[in-house]
Amino acid sequence: MIQKRIARWAMMAVAVPLAAAGARGLSRKLESRRGPSRTSRMLRQGADFLRPARSSRRRRWGR
């Protein structure tokens, strides 16, 4: 039971960031070749949903 949870957590800890990075990279490549499109925009939005930018998650002290 615990091994399944650890395996699930490990997979999510690796798979989600990789999927987000892949979608973001594919979006950049599509935009560089063909310019902005609906597909590249949706890929970027999906990547942002899976893994938001670090700066938005960090909080600075005193602000």
Q: Please tell me the distance from the alpha carbon of residue 16 to that of residue 46, in angstroms, as a whole number.
A: 11
**pLDDT tens track of the chain, all 63 residues?**
889 999 999 888 998 889 999 999 999 999 999 999 999 999 999 998 887 766 555 566 655
Q: How many helices (H) and strands (E) does the chain have?
A: 3, 0
pTM of the entire structure?
Answer: 0.68
Task: Please give the pLDDT value at position 24.
Answer: 93
For residue 34, report the phi and psi dihedrals to the nearest 5 degrees.
-120, -5
Residue ranges per domain, the chain?
22-50
